[in-house]
């Protein structure tokens, strides 16, 4: 593990810590306190952006386990999130309380994800990408046409979540709820990466033959990666459904899958922290563009309408520019930034 100069570990336990050293811990605590306090000084709109960031973090971190760590490219993650959302809505409609419903939504998504992961046992790289693309489009079709369960194009209403009589019906309470699950997702993902499962995933990504030779059961671990990742995606979808309180098939289209992939690529493939950075960046990007358009509309009235129309294009452009100029992602830049200050004023 990369640490500061002068930090020595005296036991394995110390080495396995997520946060090393007093400064890192206090920095993290300060950041976390700021985050906890944020809904009290932000307006509702900003809090709702934060909620979407939390949900995106869960989904991006989960995709990162599948694609970043295990090397299984998935163009169907948006649909798996959708499965979770619809399952949560369906179980909620059947009278299942929030927490068990959340679990069931995750399980439903895990089953669907593992099912569409089966081709990964025979396919790699581009072929797998295309088969998950097929999964995405098939699931989209199911969302739209299985009227009895999904409500078809009319969509479905979903209740606000409530736990033991406490209803999470304000943006502020939803923020804390989603933040809790986002933190949980980050912790689970970071810890999975450090266990034998995570190491098996990485071995499969790096060289599947060597992995098999050292005893990794490819069949089991690939399906496990798909199931685990889809489970978390399903939880993200369930939270999404409970927050927006109404779901239709539109948001769970291929563009969602692409933006999740963009999050982990822009953040930095294979790193949990990178996925978090990417989720924040991609969720804020359209909001920032909206602000920019608002700000410019006073000066050039026409620019703003163009800028709003071009939101999607800007997303694509950012993706292209990142891949060309910063292929290692934001996480890499963050490390460079930290090491710059660590070494300052000696650049090398």
Nearer to another protein, 23 or 300 (CB): 300
327 touches another protein (CB under 8 A): yes
Nearer to another protein, 203 or 261 (CB): 261
Nearer to another protein, 38 or 255 (CB): 255
Query: ω into residue 345 within 30 of 0, thus cis?
Result: yes
125 touches another protein (CB under 8 A): yes
- Single out the residue of 232, 293, 283, 251 nearest to residue 108, CA to CA: 232
156 touches another protein (CB under 8 A): no
Q: Which residues pair with 157 in a beta bridge?
A: 246
- Distances, alpha carbon 182 to alpha carbons 99, 110, 157, 301, 304, in Å: 15, 18, 24, 39, 34
Q: How far is CA 21 from the centre of its chain?
A: 28
CB contact at 8 A, 233 and 80: yes
311 touches another protein (CB under 8 A): yes
- Residue span 204-243 as binding mask against another protein, x where in contact by CB under 8 A, dash where not: ----x---------x-------------------------
290 touches another protein (CB under 8 A): no
* Count of residues of this chain found to bind another protein when the rule CB under 8 A is applied: 47
List Cβ neighbours of 148 (8 Å cut-off, separation of 6 or more). none
User: What angle (nearest 5°) sits at the alpha carbon of residue 266, between those of residues 2 and 1?
Assistant: 10
CB contact at 8 A, 115 and 128: no
333 touches another protein (CB under 8 A): no
List Cβ neighbours of 30 (8 Å cut-off, separation of 6 or more). none
Instruction: Select from 19-27, 167-175, 232-240, 319-327 the region that touches another protein (CB under 8 A).
Output: 319-327
Instruction: Select from 9-17, 154-162, 165-173, 312-320 the region that touches another protein (CB under 8 A).
Output: 312-320
For another protein, the binding residues in 127-146 under the rule CB under 8 A are 127, 129-131, 133-135, 137-138, 140-141, 144-145
The correct pick among 47, 49, 103, 258 for binding another protein (CB under 8 A) is 258
Cα–Cα distance measured from residue 222 to residue 134, given in angstroms and rounded to the nearest whole number: 18
- Single out the residue of 262, 95, 239, 234 nearest to residue 176, CA to CA: 239
Residues near another protein, by CB under 8 A: 67, 73, 119-127, 129-131, 133-135, 137-138, 140-141, 144-145, 208, 218, 254, 258, 261-262, 265, 269, 306, 309-320, 323-324, 327
């Amino acid at each position: 593990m990369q640490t500061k100069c002068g930090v020595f570990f005296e036991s394995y336990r110390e080495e396995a810590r997520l946060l090393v050293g007093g400064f890192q811990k206090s920095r993290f605590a300060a950041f976390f306190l700021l985050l906890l306090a944020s809904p009290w000084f932000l307006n509702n709109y900003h809090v709702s952006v934060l909620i979407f960031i939390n949900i995106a973090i869960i989904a991006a971190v989960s995709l990162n386990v599948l694609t970043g760590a295990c090397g299984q490219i998935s163009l169907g993650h948006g649909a798996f999130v959708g499965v979770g959302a619809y399952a949560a809505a369906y179980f909620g409609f059947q009278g299942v309380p929030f927490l068990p419903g959340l679990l069931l939504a995750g399980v439903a998504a895990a089953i669907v994800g593992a099912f569409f992961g089966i081709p990964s046992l025979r396919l790699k790289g581009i072929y797998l990408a295309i088969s998950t693309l097929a999964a995405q489009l098939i699931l989209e079709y199911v969302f739209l046409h299985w009227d009895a369960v999904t409500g078809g194009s009319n969509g479905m209403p979903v209740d606000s979540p409530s736990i033991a009589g406490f209803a999470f019906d304000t943006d502020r309470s939803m923020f804390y709820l989603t933040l809790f699950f986002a933190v949980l997702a980050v912790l689970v993902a970071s810890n999975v990466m450090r266990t034998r499962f995570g190491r098996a995933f990485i071995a499969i990504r790096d060289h599947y033959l060597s992995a098999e030779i050292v005893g990794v059961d490819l069949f089991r671990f690939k399906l496990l990666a798909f199931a685990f990742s889809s489970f978390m995606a399903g939880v993200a979808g369930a939270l999404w459904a409970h927050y927006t309180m109404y779901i239709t098939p539109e948001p769970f289209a291929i563009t969602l899958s692409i933006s999740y992939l963009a999050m982990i690529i822009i953040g930095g493939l294979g790193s949990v922290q990178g996925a978090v950075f990417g989720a924040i960046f991609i969720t804020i990007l359209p909001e920032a563009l909206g602000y920019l358009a608002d700000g410019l509309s006073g000066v050039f009235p026409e620019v703003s309408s163009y800028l709003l129309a071009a939101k999607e294009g800007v997303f694509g452009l950012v993706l292209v520019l990142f891949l060309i100029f910063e292929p290692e992602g934001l996480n890499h830049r963050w490390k460079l930034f930290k090491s710059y200050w660590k070494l300052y004023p000696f650049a090398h």
